[in-house]
Chain A
Amino acid sequence: MLLADFGTSYSKILDTAKGDTPLILPTKELPRSFMADLATGHNAGRRSRRSINELTALARGGYALIQRPDFVLLDCGSRDIKFVRFQDGKVADMGWNAECGASMGFTIELLSTYYNLDYAEIPPPTTGFSVTCGVLGMSHIFDAIIAGASEAEAVAGFVRGIALNAYRFAHEPEELYLSGGLCSNPLFVACLPGRVHTLGRFVLLAGLQATLAQDAHPDSLLPGQTKS
């Protein structure tokens, strides 16, 4: 069974017959003919025989991995951010920001390439920019460099602004589970307030696996389901 999380920048693919290690490859390098059995993400409807909604996959994957009745899980990807909040084992709140959170992860990656920066080597700043969107926030970086900041300092201020914006989007929880590509960015993670647990990039794949498991055992319940 071929499972796929088609992200904007990277696709995560798991062949359940070949083990537990997913393959990550740039979405732009994915063959046009590639077809998954079960998928989520952009174009999942066209690139798979069956697709499920990204937020649904996030909630199911998060619930399966975290195994707690109450938690907040924030997913920061290339293009958008989304969160789910569980209370008593049920989804109590959720959000998906594809507009004002637009292109945050994508912009962070572009900046490191352009300025040749290693985010593992940049300490988290104590102050930053007020950033509502990856694209609009770029002008803060240029202004800071003109004002005398180093490129690393300016980009760090930008990343901090993005991290705080994402944190507020999830309603500022004291404890936060983080998923998505930005889990691998130490600067971004360090800029998030509160206790942060990183889950990595495969939470949506875990959601697809939870869906498969539910298909195999229809009596088991997924988040949001109640016995009729």
Chain B
Amino acid sequence: MSRLIGIVGVPPLAVIEKINRDGDRIVDLDEPQIRAPIDQTAAHIPRVYCAILRTVVLNSLHLPLDLVYIDVGPGKCDCALHVSDILADLLRVPVIRTRNQDTRSFGYPLCTSRMPLMEKVSRITKSVQSAAPHAPVPPCQPSCGFWGVPPRDFALLDLFPETTHVFGWTRCMENKTPADLELEHQVDPTIPMVFFSQSFCAKSALAKHLADKHPRAIAIDCDVTPSSSTRAKIEAFLELSGVVPDRRHTP
């Protein structure tokens, strides 16, 4: 009988290969998997904390997990290291800490493809669950760039046009090298770029730093869900940069 394996971050390829080989099912604990108030986690993790890791705890409280792999190395963050302690105490199943330092590049065809950004990032996060090479996807001419981690709430992404290229840790995810800082620093100075970080994430310093150096960029952060002013800021930035934002979802 297949087991339900929770993953946090991007575990090493060898771990993914083993899970796939054993025929177990993977659930990405970084993404919302259940409908429950995130404040249910307040007894275990501070409210003022990375919303992705609060989501990890929320999922872990509800899902019938058999095992958790949580990446705590340079490809994830110190916050995950501490959350691994919380999970180990909270759950009655093994919590295995990994330190993914894989260097074999799988490429990032989805990051440079033409498709709605929400779908693009969904497919990238899903691709972590497979050890297979990526299917080829034709690249497109970029109109703007999104740099950062996959946001806790993908609704943040729906303002961006289909020709948005993806950079930062999300690109490292697709490349299956989450600790590749050089790739994470990569930007395109010829297009307007939005540098995103989760509120209370250490990467917010890098987002601000890279945005300051970029000729046409803004840095934004977002906690659990994007506020109307965060969405308006992205919309105005795109509009004033000559990019037509997708306003279908504007409230």
Contacts and interface: CB of A to CB of B under 8 A. Distances in A.
Interface of A: 45, 53-56, 59, 80, 84, 91-96, 98-99, 223-226
A224 B242 contact: yes
Interface string B212-228: 00001010000000011
A40 to B, nearest CB: 10
A59 B240 contact: yes
A224 B239 contact: yes
A94 B237 contact: yes
B163 to A, nearest CB: 14
From A59, A84, A224, A226, name the one whose CB has the most chain B CB atoms within 10 angstroms. Answer: A224
Enumerate the 10 nearest inter-chain pairs by beta-carbon distance, A residue then B residue, closest first: A55-B236, A98-B229, A224-B240, A91-B240, A53-B236, A96-B233, A56-B236, A224-B242, A56-B239, A53-B235
Interface string B100-142: 0000000000000000000000000000000000000000000
Contact of B240 (A94, A95, A98, A99): A94
Given A45-B251, A95-B218, A224-B241, 8 more contacts: A53-B232, A55-B233, A56-B236, A94-B237, A95-B233, A96-B232, A96-B236, A226-B242
B250 interface: yes
A225 B242 contact: yes
Contact of B232 (A54, A91, A225): A54
B53 to A, nearest CB: 21
Nearest to A91: B240
B144 to A, nearest CB: 12
Given A94-B218, A96-B229, A98-B227, A223 B240 contact: yes
Nearest to B245: A53
A95 B216 CA distance: 13
B240 to A, nearest CB: 4
B210 to A, nearest CB: 14
From B218, B235, B237, B251, name the one whose CB has the most chain A CB atoms within 10 angstroms. Answer: B237
13 contacts: A45-B250, A55-B232, A55-B233, A55-B236, A56-B236, A56-B240, A93-B218, A94-B218, A94-B233, A94-B236, A94-B240, A99-B227, A224-B240
Interface of B: 216, 218, 227-229, 232-233, 235-237, 239-242, 250-251
Nearest to A57: B236
A59 B251 CA distance: 21
Nearest to A84: B240
Nearest to B215: A92
B208 to A, nearest CB: 12
Contacts of B233: 55, 94-96
Given A224-B242, A226-B242, A54 B227 contact: no
Nearest to B232: A53
Contacts of B216: 92
Contacts of A95: 218, 233
Contacts of B239: 53, 56, 224
B189 to A, nearest CB: 14
Given A45-B250, A92-B216, A94-B218, A55 B240 contact: yes
Nearest to B199: A99
A214 B165 CA distance: 30
A80 to B, nearest CB: 7
A161 to B, nearest CB: 22
A165 B130 CA distance: 49
From A53, A84, A94, A95, name the one whose CB has the most chain B CB atoms within 10 angstroms. Answer: A53
B41 to A, nearest CB: 22
Contacts of B242: 224-226
A106 B192 CA distance: 34
A72 to B, nearest CB: 15
Nearest to A92: B216
Nearest to B251: A45
